[in-house]
Structure 1
């Protein structure tokens, strides 16, 4: 209780104090909104008409699910198996896990005669790069030998690019322009290829705007290929949505982090594209 002559502290539950707090929150939000308008968000995705390197193919649920939007479908087993699926994504998995199974790929090569090559962006093998370079052990199971060749990438996941064996080694999608032999495939700075061993030095090149880490690289085994005629047929039939997606979205960590975990890649791209694609995503989630 306040002493006589002293002004009692304001009651936090009183209307005037609540109003003041609300005003402060509103002001802070307006400042944040104003700041965000000045600097465009790095997370974006938009539909495109062309088919070229760097374009992202996003699965249409109607081609991969048995039920979508209140209708029944019969996905082709050959289409499912092309992306490592034995069955259509079942409804009882829940919306996020189910959307994780919808293929999202980035085109890394487009050629009229050689066809189209892409890698899956949302299929992890369950291995890390370090698992591929286990040093020899003695009878006491103690590690021997030199450090792994790809020491700076040891904790990076190994991704499953598809069922086709096009190259015999590791393929690499990354954000480092200093990697020798890499090809730029998007305007905002995604690169394909190069030597992973040399990349360890390239990512700390002093001419770069920032020092890069292993998280600026994705490593793949195998890939997904089509003839030019086959991919055009699939696009014409509505199997794929063609999009340009920012590198920040494609390289965002989507490991589970409680309530702060990132959305599945398919889901985030649909939401960022807006309009009919948000509606498509909502119909897909409403199936649960």
Structure 2
């Protein structure tokens, strides 16, 4: 069966004159000081709230009830745990795309997990894009002899990861219990992303002690799709779509390896997905 052209830059998403990989910042101008104060108080009240966890709890409960009915046993509720993953029907910002066996043999994407940074619904001309999060390059930034001063100093010991076949460098930053950070775009609660145009702000946060360099993960390249292309690939069974916990996406970074993330997510998704995680690669 023929594969789609996943590696061509002509398939990248676009958003008018700007590179879609560059976040445009948080701020809408014109808010009054009282509105900003109200927003800040709301952020502080909900800083640790993640509606995705509520949905995951509901999904886990429904699955447990279904299994109990099938076995004829009584239902027992179990805690969700720090690491969870479950399938969802449509892609959303912050979800992951898990490569199916149809991508075995497609070197760029086989057995990859792509974190979707934007789902492509924010702007009518913008396609979805994200980064591969389970392909460490086993190199640090300093090994690439960067010319950018912040990369050569503040972030020199940060590890590099392959993010995708399209040209643009990005980084993820773990914000912990903080609310949204100005200049960075939130992917899911506790996790933001930035690009080269926000590197100065990132370095400043480290210098001020707000964040540590270990809170950052840098990616070379990204993956992008045209408006309807990703939907077509999902409908053609090239990708499974899943929601998963921040602890699963970021793990015990920087010490833990992300290379087994594909298997781990599929196993947590259970059922047919768990079976796929144990299958050997298919040479196409």
Report SS of the residue matched to 1:197.
helix
Report SS of the residue matched to 2:161.
strand
- Tell me if the contact between 1:255 and 1:262 (Cα under 8 Å) persists in the aligned partners: no
What's 1:144 paired with? none
What's 2:190 paired with? 189
What's 1:107 paired with? 116
What's 2:270 paired with? 274
What's 2:91 paired with? 51
Unaligned ranges ≥5, structure 2: 1-76
Matching of residues 18-29 of structure 1 within 5 Å: none
**What is the TM-score of this pair, normalised by structure 1?**
0.58
Query: Which stretch has the larger CA shift, 193-202 or 107-116?
Result: 193-202
Relative to structure 1, the CA distance from residue 254 to residue 183 in structure 2 (aligned partners, 3 Å threshold; closer, same or farther) is closer
After the TM superposition, which parts of structure 1 deviate over 6 Å for at least 4 consecutive aligned residues?
A: 254-257
Relative to structure 1, the CA distance from residue 283 to residue 160 in structure 2 (aligned partners, 3 Å threshold; closer, same or farther) is closer
- Tell me if the contact between 1:178 and 1:205 (Cα under 8 Å) persists in the aligned partners: no
Equivalent of 1:128, from 137, 140, 147?
140
Report SS of the residue matched to 2:268.
helix
Shift of 1:123: 1.9
**What is the TM-score of this pair, normalised by structure 2?**
0.59
Aligned residues: 198
Matching of residues 1-288 of structure 1 within 5 Å: 40-61=80-101, 63-65=102-104, 80=106, 83=108, 101-111=110-120, 112-133=124-145, 148-150=149-151, 151-165=153-167, 167=168, 170-176=169-175, 177=179, 179-186=181-188, 188-193=189-194, 195-203=198-206, 212-253=211-252, 264-284=260-280
Aligned equivalents of 1:220, 1:255: Cα separation in 2: 14
Shift of 1:264: 0.2
Report SS of the residue matched to 2:228.
helix
Q: How big is each residue's C-alpha offset from its partner over 1:115-168, in whole Å with a ceiling of 9 and x where there is no partner?
A: 111111122334311234468xxxxxxxxxxx9523332221112211112x4x
Relative to structure 1, the CA distance from residue 263 to residue 173 in structure 2 (aligned partners, 3 Å threshold; closer, same or farther) is closer
Across the aligned residues of Structure 1 and Structure 2, the Cα RMSD in angstroms comes to 3.4
Aligned equivalents of 1:228, 1:193: Cα separation in 2: 22
Unaligned ranges ≥5, structure 1: 1-36, 66-74, 86-100, 136-146
Structure with larger Rg: 1
Shift of 1:269: 0.5
- Tell me if the contact between 1:174 and 1:218 (Cα under 8 Å) persists in the aligned partners: yes
- Tell me if the contact between 1:253 and 1:262 (Cα under 8 Å) persists in the aligned partners: no
Aligned equivalents of 2:254, 2:133: Cα separation in 1: 14
Q: How big is each residue's C-alpha offset from its partner over 1:244-266, in whole Å with a ceiling of 9 and x where there is no partner?
A: 11121111258998xxx777010
Shift of 1:45: 1.1
